[in-house]
Amino acid sequence: MGYDTASRSDVESIISEDDGGMWFLKDALGTDDLGLSVLELEPGVEGKEHDETDTDQEEVYYVGEGSVEVSVGEQTVSLEGGDAIRLDPEESRQIHNRGDERATLVLAGAPL
């Protein structure tokens, strides 16, 4: 078959759904290198600070709904619904929902 489908309901959230939820779809889709995740953050919640140096993976974050701030090293980038950011593997990053509504993002990553 030339395609696979998946839904976030096919996998368990890796964070508490009280905070929003995060669903990794890579395995459900059967991708080799491309990782795809859905992240929802409730107001006042922040994601895990991390980098992808060990995986040499660049990431793209697309904001579908709401607004977030992404700390990238010493800088802060504000993103609204419809905005995206690409991150180099070695950049430390953390997503913050400082807004008043739930934020929904699609995260994609693949090794360089």
Q: Which mean pLDDT values do the consecutive 10-residue runs of the chain (112 residues) have?
A: 90 94 96 96 96 96 98 97 98 96 97 92
Pairing of strands 75-80, 67-72: antiparallel
pTM equals 0.94
97 and 44 in contact (C-beta within 8 Å)? yes
48 and 76 in contact (C-beta within 8 Å)? no
73 and 56 in contact (C-beta within 8 Å)? no
**Angle formed at CA 56 by CA 54 and CA 61, multiple of 5 degrees:** 110
Q: So what's the pLDDT on residue 106?
A: 98
Q: So what's the pLDDT on residue 91?
A: 96
Q: What's the CA gap between 59 and 92, in Å, rounded?
A: 12
Q: So what's the pLDDT on residue 1?
A: 64
What residue spans define the domains of the chain?
A: 12-111
Q: Could you tell me the two tokens for 43?
A: 């107001």
Residue 111 backbone phi and psi in degrees, to 5: -65, 145
CATH top-level class of 12-111: mainly beta
